[in-house]
Structure 1
């Protein structure tokens, strides 16, 4: 009984402690909001489950945890000693301060830190402050790799440079880099700036140094060449590193054209030309009209009408079950008795597609149709299609072992933050649409649009084809216009028109194929009837024997 009372008391104490902490957090929230009067937007979100299910290792840190979302994972907590070693070196670099004073400073701004995170953080203010000081120190030391990118032959990992060789150092560096750009592994950038300010004699020197680090970081990590003319970065403007990379790749040019995008109601661009009727009975109607017009001719009465009457009277239901006959007889039975059996394509068409892929021909098909590809050195706004020269302009993208994780998390960030058009997601859908095989990647690589630093072109094709899943519909005016123009040009080519005609009206129509099979069977029946009367087999064998004898002579 005493044990039960003690357990109840302890549970009540813990509950009471949680209530007190909650009251303190609420009080600090109102006090800080009254002082600052500025609402901090949420910037660190959880990855949507739809994206997370496709490739979890691209969204969940594998080596280091930064921030509260994955801090307590056992497989990541083993690397805490390296972050603690970095924090100890940060302690030595502080200007007349102790690390505890930096923690107190962050504790006083607890609400501002929590405001960046979408999830509720079940941590005390002091715990959160210590976590941010340690993780911010580690991130700051890692960013120092980019302060002078031209002079460093390879990147170093904080607190591990003396423990591993250069080859392993590169692997660890790539692993940390992938973890740093993950959406759920972001920490507020203003905390890193504050730690650097504690280490420098003036705030201006600290901000300039951090700007240099970020420029070097973006130049090396960003897959698009968009930083050539950038001399500085406003460190106060961006919430974290992933947001910085996103707005560098996708500039804020959507405000002025947002109405145009709303007026653009194309979801899956496709040409309306050469669209066949959806009702497959149009072939039967055509056949019936031709038959009624020609039924008055006497020659048709002898050659076609009577044999068809005979075919109708034949017990096809019995014949269709005979071995070797069912394959040929089944279509004739369906045609003559007006039976519409659902094909596999029709049945699969009733099911909603698991992954929506943009409707555009592949690079190989576009090249055969006369479309040319040209690289651009810029952001995503340089995507365009020149109708006069039939040239598709695409920004140059550099792909390596770290790019897929970055691209996927940029899509996750855009999905979580952007309420309007998702430009980057639409771009990934565009590349996914035109890249189907390694041959497509090879053509883009030869044109300079893809700079491949991966093992082979097949890996690049798999990278783009694996990114086709999106959380919601994406409509972007200037990219959708490119899709419409490309499809319109492609569908206007005579080679494409003839191939589509044959595929749709001949090979894609089971009625035509059935009619051809019936005509072939009718012809064979006539030949067999003719040969049964005039002994074609005897005459053919006689001619063959004569010919053989003649050759022998």
Structure 2
């Protein structure tokens, strides 16, 4: 995969939710550098650098020299002209890179950051505009003495860095592959941390084999009905059950025998920001598989209101930490705004066709209509019973009227 620029979020995506792309506490790279609310963490970055230098007993000039030869290449990774001198840019690369490395090591050693600060930093490191070129981090990791990582039991700093980073996001990205092995060549293909996260989050091999979005019969499809409408048509929902030590990927959705089986998704305060930045990467990166955009499209179809969220919560598919079902509905409905979904590469095309085929059967449609019209409202249900009873009495009266004449 060719190197992608570190891009700005497109205006139309940014306008839907500006805060989702803004760092809380720390700027990484040039795009958010110098903002007032982030200046306090600049002192923390310097302290992290001093701690690293003190431990390694080295001078900062060694790290500046290590990055200097690649500074021009690193600068060209950013899509916008930067109003910063070459010297300032070089210092920023070293300061921000060493901060990330020290922060990761501190977390592995259970160093005492406040819970809120640590959570905020992890949030900021997964923002698409808040990135360093990955080769800068690799160069710093190569230059830092390996004994620096002895306390966390690693002889391979780059592998430690990658796997520790993936594990930090594992709980927020169900099915994220956390033990990926990268050789020197494949490591060169990683653009930045957001790309690292995205490239390790994809459907399981079984799901990929079961659903081939490029099959001719899957090249045209239409959206499915909401969760409550599907339930009224006799379609049930079930959370994926996994065996011990097995993990289900968020994207592994199945439909069999009238049951839509889905993995559990936890919706927290920072879920929208994480999803938005990963979706922005999918929209910007040429050739990048858009599995999250496609998953969100499934959820957008299933969720039209808080009632749909309530149903999926009852089935164990959504774990709602926002508290308000309507807020979750709005979240999924807005995540798809201004995104492109290529129909010929839609991973769930076959699943959508099967669900629509089941829903389209005449009896299921009548069942859904009756349930929706008469069984959601107690007064409507009573009216339905009264009307049914009246029809039965009319039929009986007609029968008894005819019978005497026949005798």
TM-score (norm 1): 0.57
Structure 1 residues 533-553: Cα deviation after superposition (integer angstroms, max 9, x where no partner): xxxxxxxxxxxxxxxxxxxxx
Residue deviations 1:68-112, cap 9 Å, x none? 111132332343112111121122133x53112211221111133
Matched, 1:177 2:131: no
Q: Which has the higher contact order (CA 8 A, sep 6+)?
A: 2
CA distance in 1, matches of 2:274, 2:106: 19
SS of aligned partner of 1:451: strand
Larger radius of gyration: 1
**Structure 2 equivalent of residue 124 of structure 1:** 85
- The residue correspondences of 1:13-412 to structure 2 (distance < 5 A) are 41-94=3-56, 97-144=58-105, 146-147=107-108, 156-157=112-113, 169-201=114-146, 204-220=155-171, 222-227=172-177, 230-234=178-182, 236=187, 238-250=190-202, 260=214, 264-266=218-220, 269=222, 359-376=223-240, 377-379=247-249, 382-386=252-256, 389-412=257-280
CA distance, structure 1, for counterparts of residue 80 and residue 216 of structure 2: 31
Query: Do the aligned partners of residues 465 and 398 (structure 1) sit closer, same or farther apart at CA in structure 2, a change above 3 Å counting?
Result: same
Q: How far apart, CA to CA, are the structure 1 residues paired with 2:18 and 2:112?
A: 27
**TM-superposed deviation, 1:383:** 2.3
**Per-residue deviation at 1:232?**
4.5
Contact 2:29 2:92 in 1 (8 A): yes
CA distance in 2, matches of 1:87, 1:361: 54
Residue 463 to residue 206, structure 1, CA distance change in 2 (3 Å): same
Question: Conserved in 2, the CA contact under 8 Å of 1:58 and 1:405?
Answer: yes
Distance 1:262 1:423 in 2: 20
**For residues 147 and 171 of structure 1, do their structure 2 counterparts lie closer, same or farther at Cα, with a shift above 3 Å needed?**
closer
Question: 2 CA distance for matches of 1:444 and 1:499?
Answer: 18
SS in 2 for 1:260: coil
Q: Secondary structure at the match of 1:489?
A: helix
Unpaired runs of 5+ residues, structure 2, are 148-153, 241-246, 373-407
Q: Return the alpha-carbon distance in structure 2 between the equivalents of residues 174 and 207 of structure 1.
A: 23
Deviation at 1:134, TM superposition (A): 0.9
1:402-481 mapped onto 2 (5 Å cutoff): 402-419=270-287, 422-475=290-343, 476-481=345-350
Partner SS, residue 378 of structure 1: coil
In structure 1, what is the Cα distance between the partners aligned to 2:286 and 2:2? 16
Q: Which SS does the other structure have where 1:93 is aligned?
A: helix
Q: How far does residue 469 in structure 1 lie from its aligned partner after superposition?
A: 0.4
Indicate the SS of the match to 1:223.
coil
Q: Distance in 2 between matches of 1:263 and 1:179?
A: 42
CA distance in 2, matches of 1:434, 1:494: 21
Q: 1:499 to 1:54 in 2, by over 3 A?
A: same
Shift of 1:130: 0.7
State the 1:368 CA deviation: 1.9
Distance in 2, matches of 1:462 and 1:244, equals 28
CA deviation map 1:49-70 (0-9, x unaligned)? 1110100000122321110111
Q: Which deviates more, 467-476 or 84-93?
A: 467-476
1:485 corresponds to 2:349? no
Query: Retained in 1: the 8 A contact 2:176–2:202?
Result: no
Distance 1:405 1:494, change over 3 A: same
Task: Give the drift of 1:414.
Answer: 0.4
The whole-number CA distance in structure 2 between the counterparts of 1:260 and 1:120 is: 40
Q: What's the Cα RMSD here?
A: 3.2
CA drift at 1:489? 1.0
SS in 2 for 1:132: helix
Distance 1:468 1:191, change over 3 A: same
SS at match of 1:444: helix
**TM-aligned CA distance change 1:499 to 1:109, over 3 Å:** closer
Whether contact under 8 Å (1:147, 1:209) holds in the other structure is: no
Gaps of 5+ in 1: 1-38, 158-168, 270-358, 504-553
Q: Conserved in 2, the CA contact under 8 Å of 1:103 and 1:126?
A: no
Structure 1: how far apart are the matches of 2:288 and 2:194? 19
**Structure 1 position 409, deviation (Å):** 0.6
Alpha carbons of 1:55 and 1:215: their partners in 2 closer, same or farther (altered >3 Å)?
closer
What count of residue pairs does the alignment treat as equivalent?
352
